[in-house]
Amino acid sequence: MNINDFILELKKINIEISKTQLQQLEEYYELLVEYNEKINLTSITEKDQVYLKHFYDSLTINKIIDLNTVENLCDVGTGAGFPGLVIKILFPKIHVTLVDSLNKRINFLNDVIKKLNLENIETLHSRIEEYGKNTREKYDVVTARALAPLNILLEYCLPLVKNGKYFIPLKANISREILEINNAKKELKCELVDKVEFLLPYEESVRTILKFEKTGKTNKKYPRDYAQIKKKPL
């Protein structure tokens, strides 16, 4: 995906990108490649692939929710900043929180944020289940990209979501995972209200975006410790 293709595909999902934002993404890409020589951020480093599989893919969340209507967003297990940091660049009015368990990745994110002069964005070095124990019902949107199976992701993320707001995971093919979430939805008080399936342009790999609406307060016992979640998923 070259830059012209990137701009065109964004228009198809109702995103207009400015010259400033294109420059910010270019600087982000350069830092990603530079840091990736020292720490493992991504196996994808070719420019056209980064723009397709990281930058564009992150922004496809706009297919299921108008990001212009979102006040704050939390990206859990953000890694190198996908999708949360990309969303922040294209939708600067959103207050974004990036959570990751590896401090080296947090240091990278902080350097990108500083170089791009981004405001109203914070990074947190924490395991998501620890963050969720102390941060309840704070965000309009919580998102995660290919982090864990759906039933586990729901337990990680629902405690962070405001009542009546949304958890929106970005996944690949989830035909099997989606059959195993009925108990998690009931326990955590949420409903699947929308689903978008599509093929990533040019490559044509399957992508699925889900939209879970929180319908009530999550029991304070969730999220459990990682060992409990892994041993007995909801």
What is the DSSP-derived secondary structure letter of residue 40?
-
Note the pLDDT tens digit of each residue in 118-131: 999 999 999 999 99
Superfamily of segment(s) 64-231 = Vaccinia Virus protein VP39 (3.40.50.150)
What's the pLDDT at 12?
97
The residues spanned by each domain of the chain are: 64-231
pTM: 0.95
State the alpha helices, DSSP H only, in 14-83: 19-36, 47-50, 57-59
Residues of the chain with pLDDT under 70: none
Can you point out the beta strands (E) in the chain? 72-76, 95-100, 121-125, 139-145, 161-171, 190-199, 206-214
